[in-house]
């Protein structure tokens, strides 16, 4: 395709991180939130280098002629373009950082160096260094008999070029990271309202000559190395090994991978830079000179210091209990009566946790099955699953050990579950299990009842407070039958090949999405109204992109909310004229996925765990679910409409490949703020509650009569007839 309708994935991601940085730049954003966005920008960029640039670096060595399938750029060309763009972004970051420091001064907080303090303060810091810090340091000299030490990923070191009388120049290194002394060191012990701090690494760098007192210091700088963290665990795995122990060992290996970026806080002699580059086997354009601290995580401590000043933070929003559930009633009977939908973080996750706790203590519940990708370290969800297992339920948990950077937590969590009697599996060979799927089975009057939950976000109480996500709960039997197939396939290390209701990657999602796009193309070609609405985090799947281009050319109107990477450029004449793309970056991380196909009453609405990325659609186990309840469908469509018309946090992707602020309209629409109250949607909520209440009360009362006190033996097993029934049921479904 000759028209410029594709954008390189990596450069598109950098545009997303630029939008994060622009939130830190906004003066209408509270100061402490600006600091948070600045920290997120840096941590995002660190991970980008560790994963994406790491992957490209490997590709450049192993297959230099390979190109990406959209812009035909080689790995070398992509790396060059990335490094050039990051240098530009660094300049913008430095300006934002300086502006934030100026704003902090108005709050009587200052980050200083030795150029900005008086002689008395300098003496106090020297005494502090000598007593509190110097004894804890581990200085190193690099020479003929002292090889270059291993430098830990993302940790800060003070580096110096040293000269000894009648000797060869050498390099001195001092690790600056420590859990013993604080990162922010008070400069003055006065009782004034002024809070002056110096960063511990700056203090170490300043007094570095006193550590290497036998040498003349010719130059010094703080340095920080970023290492490749991209490991293909499936390619390395030996089937004779214990998979969990293999992953634990892999985490250790990852910490020692090849450096791909070097950051400096000061200028150093070119020959010293070349020496570092030779040691790390990186090129000089991968060296970045920063006029900001090399690690901005200390902003978290400053935010804590200013916590009492509420005007410096976003206004706290109350998390509501969903009005779809009647208080004081059992949850499962209410789901049986009518499908339910939670929208995090506007609705509390406690409702879902209560459902699990209720199931764990319901004698009629015989099994709980769940896929776990990222969970909180102190997880009530894990506690509920453990309780269920100890109460004799058949609990099955897929614990995905390849959840990047959460592997260690997942390994520890899987051990806890196994010790409690939960059946734990670790994934499907060749695929990550990224789905958010839970299936609860009850036996009532000898018949099975199924309660299926499908989500767009992780079973994580912490992230549910600032990630926007959906949680659909239904007793629909067709959906449950597909969910049973998914869990059976996972248990047998297989993938599902056919589904009736759910969209399930890797075999039954991309093809079904393309089929629904084709349906809209057919309608448009016949002169009928056709529409596609998509909300995802990233768009890179070329087969889906090509199909969306065909749909636009056929006259299908397409609205897309794509938070991050978007490899499709909208508004290109003759190709993507009918496609509109916006990105929303705000106080909450947009994480929910919505697929809408059709116009008017014929609209099909799905929620899903899958972005439109090839890794999601073809290389992961993902699950999307139809929203069948008319009230819930209206709610999602209403929310999507607010997002697509957001003119406060949204930025529009133009035909030139750049993002610009959405403007226009007499009324300000900040979708995230609106969703905390959902005032315009109240009539539908009330209607749903009113229509469901009588049946819910009757079902809940009936359930209460059936439920008896639990046996005091918390490790009892289900009665044999029930176990036999369940086993036969699964045999029939195979």
pLDDT in tens, 327-348: 889 999 999 999 999 999 999 9
pTM over 0.85: yes
The end-to-end CA distance of the chain, in Å, is: 45
* pLDDT-based confidence at residue 58 (cuts at 50, 70, 90): confident
24-38, 299-313, 400-414: segment of lowest average pLDDT? 400-414
* pLDDT-based confidence at residue 157 (cuts at 50, 70, 90): very high
**pLDDT tens-digit map of 494-526:** 999 999 999 999 999 999 999 999 999 999 999
159 secondary structure, DSSP code: E
**pLDDT tens-digit map of 670-680:** 999 999 987 54
Distance CA 496, CA 391 (A): 31
Q: Is the pLDDT of residue 585 over 70?
A: yes
**pLDDT tens-digit map of 549-558:** 999 999 999 9
Exposure pattern of 604-618 as b/e (b: 16+ CB <10 Å)?
ebbbbbbbbbbbbbb
Q: Is the pLDDT of residue 33 over 50?
A: yes
Per-residue confidence (pLDDT) for residue 679, from 0 to 100:
52
Q: Is the pLDDT of residue 716 over 50?
A: no
Distance CA 659, CA 664 (A): 16
324-328, 407-411, 630-634: segment of lowest average pLDDT? 407-411
**pLDDT tens-digit map of 640-663:** 999 999 999 999 999 999 999 998
β strands within 98-163, DSSP E: 109-111, 140-142, 156-163
* Mean pLDDT of all residues in 132-137: 95
- CA distances (Å), origin 675, targets 193, 319, 456, 680: 39, 11, 17, 9
Distance CA 575, CA 578 (A): 8
Q: What is the mean pLDDT of the chain?
A: 88
* pLDDT-based confidence at residue 144 (cuts at 50, 70, 90): low
Sheet of 109-111, strand order:
109-111, 195-199, 184-186
Active site residues: 434
H helix count then E strand count, the chain: 23, 27
Higher pLDDT, 717 or 30: 30
564 secondary structure, DSSP code: S
Phi, psi torsion values for 627, nearest 5 degrees? -95, 105
719 token code pair: 């009665």
For 120-126, the CB contacts below 8 A with 24+ separation are 121/187, 121/188, 121/196, 124/187, 124/188, 124/189, 125/185, 125/187, 125/198, 125/203, 126/207
567 token code pair: 């490899």
541 token code pair: 């799947």
Q: Is the pLDDT of residue 695 over 90?
A: no
177-186, 291-300, 631-640: segment of lowest average pLDDT? 177-186
β strands within 69-128, DSSP E: 109-111
Q: Is the pLDDT of residue 708 over 90?
A: no
CA torsion angle 641 643 644 645 (round to 10): 90
Q: Which residue has the tokens 């659909």?
A: 472
Phi/psi region, residue 664 (left: phi>0; alpha: psi -120 to 50; beta: rest), is left
Helices (H), 118-232: 119-128, 200-206, 208-211
Per-residue confidence (pLDDT) for residue 411, from 0 to 100:
80
Distance CA 629, CA 675 (A): 20
Q: Is the pLDDT of residue 275 over 80?
A: yes
Q: Is the pLDDT of residue 539 over 70?
A: yes
Phi/psi region, residue 593 (left: phi>0; alpha: psi -120 to 50; beta: rest), is beta
Per-residue confidence (pLDDT) for residue 723, from 0 to 100:
41
Give the other-Cβ count within 10 Å of 562's Cβ: 25
307-316, 322-331, 491-500: segment of lowest average pLDDT? 322-331
Q: Is the pLDDT of residue 706 over 80?
A: no
Distance CA 89, CA 630 (A): 46
* pLDDT-based confidence at residue 421 (cuts at 50, 70, 90): very high
Per-residue confidence (pLDDT) for residue 658, from 0 to 100:
97
Per-residue confidence (pLDDT) for residue 230, from 0 to 100:
66
Share of the chain above pLDDT 90, in %: 73
Distance CA 56, CA 201 (A): 32
* Mean pLDDT of all residues in 291-315: 96
Distance CA 442, CA 728 (A): 15
729 token code pair: 């049921």
- Nearest in space to 633 (alpha carbons), one of 669, 607, 671: 607
158 CB burial (10 A radius; 0-12, 13-18, 19+): buried
Distance CA 550, CA 684 (A): 36
Share of the chain above pLDDT 70, in %: 87
Distance CA 477, CA 448 (A): 10
* Mean pLDDT of all residues in 14-38: 98
β strands within 445-521, DSSP E: 447-455, 467-474, 503-505
């Amino acid at each position: 395709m000759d028209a410029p309708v594709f954008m390189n994935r990596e450069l598109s991601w950098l545009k997303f991180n630029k939008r994060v940085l622009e939130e830190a730049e906004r003066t209408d954003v509270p100061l402490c939130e600006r600091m948070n966005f600045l920290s997120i920008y840096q941590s995002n960029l660190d991970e980008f280098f560790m994963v994406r640039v790491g992957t490209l670096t490997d590709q450049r060595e192993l297959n230099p002629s390979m190109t990406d399938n959209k812009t035909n750029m080689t790995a070398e060309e992509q790396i060059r373009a990335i490094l050039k763009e990051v240098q530009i972004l660094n300049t913008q970051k430095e300006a934002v950082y300086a502006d934030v420091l100026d704003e902090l001064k108005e709050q009587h907080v200052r980050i200083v160096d030795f150029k900005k303090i008086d002689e008395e303060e300098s003496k106090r810091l020297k005494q502090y260094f000598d007593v509190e810090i110097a004894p804890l340091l581990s200085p190193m000299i690099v020479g003929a008999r002292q090889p270059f030490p291993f430098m830990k990923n993302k940790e800060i070191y003070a580096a110096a070029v040293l000269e000894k009388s009648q000797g060869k120049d050498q390099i001195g290194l001092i690790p600056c990271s420590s859990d013993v002394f604080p990162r922010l060191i008070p400069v003055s012990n006065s009782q004034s309202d002024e809070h002056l701090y110096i960063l511990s690494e700056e203090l170490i760098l300043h007094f570095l000559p006193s550590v290497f007192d036998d040498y003349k210091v010719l130059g010094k700088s703080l340095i920080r190395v970023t290492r490749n963290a991209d490991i293909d665990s499936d390619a390395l795995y030996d089937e004779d090994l214990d998979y969990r122990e293999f992953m634990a060992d892999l985490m250790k290996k990852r910490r020692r991978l090849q450096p791909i970026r070097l950051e400096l806080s000061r200028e150093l002699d070119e020959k010293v830079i070349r020496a570092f580059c030779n040691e790390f086997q990186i090129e000089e354009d991968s060296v970045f000179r920063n006029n900001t601290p090399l690690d901005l995580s200390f902003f978290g401590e400053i935010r804590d210091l200013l916590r009492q000043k509420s005007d410096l933070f976003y206004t706290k929003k109350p998390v509501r209990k969903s009005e779809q559930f009647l208080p004081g009633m059992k949850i499962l009977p209410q789901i049986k009566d009518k499908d339910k939908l939670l929208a995090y973080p506007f609705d509390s996750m406690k409702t879902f946790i209560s459902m699990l706790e209720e199931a764990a203590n319901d004698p009629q519940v015989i099994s709980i099955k769940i896929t776990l990708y990222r969970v909180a370290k102190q997880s009530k969800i894990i506690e509920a699953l453990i309780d269920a297992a100890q109460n004799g339920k058949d609990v099955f948990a897929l614990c995905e050990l390849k959840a990047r950077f959460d592997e260690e937590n997942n390994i520890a969590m899987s051990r806890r579950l196994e010790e409690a009697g939960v059946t734990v599996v670790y994934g499907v060979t060749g695929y990550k299990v990224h789905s958010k799927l839970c299936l609860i089975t009850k036996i009532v009057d000898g018949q099975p009842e199924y309660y299926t939950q499908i989500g767009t976000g992780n079973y994580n109480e912490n992230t549910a407070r600032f990630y926007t996500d959906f949680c659909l709960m239904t007793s629909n039997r067709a959906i449950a039958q597909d969910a049973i197939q998914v869990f059976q396939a996972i248990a047998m290390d297989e993938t599902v090949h056919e589904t009736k209701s759910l969209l399930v990657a890797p075999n039954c999602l991309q093809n079904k999405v393309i089929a629904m796009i084709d349906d809209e193309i057919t309608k448009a070609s016949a002169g009928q109204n056709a529409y596609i609405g998509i909300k995802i985090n990233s768009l890179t799947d070329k087969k889906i992109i090509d199909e969306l281009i065909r749909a636009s050319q056929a006259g299908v109107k397409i609205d897309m909310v794509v938070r991050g990477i978007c490899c499709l450029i909208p508004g290109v004449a003759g190709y993507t004229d009918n496609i509109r793309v916006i990105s929303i970056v705000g106080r909450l991380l947009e994480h929910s996925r919505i697929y809408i196909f059709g116009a008017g009453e014929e609209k099909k609405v799905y929620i899903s765990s899958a972005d439109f990325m090839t890794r999601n659609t073809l290389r992961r186990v993902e699950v999307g679910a139809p929203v069948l309840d008319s009230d819930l469908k209206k709610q999602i469509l209403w929310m999507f409409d607010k997002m697509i018309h957001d003119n406060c946090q949204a930025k529009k992707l133009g035909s030139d490949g750049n993002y610009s602020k959405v403007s226009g309209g007499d009324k300000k629409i900040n979708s995230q703020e609106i969703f905390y109250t959902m005032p315009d949607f109240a009539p539908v909520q009330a209607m749903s509650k009113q229509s469901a209440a009588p049946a819910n009360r009757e079902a809940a009362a009936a359930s209460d009569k059936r439920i008896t006190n639990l046996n005091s033996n918390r490790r009892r097993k289900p009665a044999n007839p029930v176990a036999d029934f369940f086993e036969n049921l699964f045999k029939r479904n195979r």
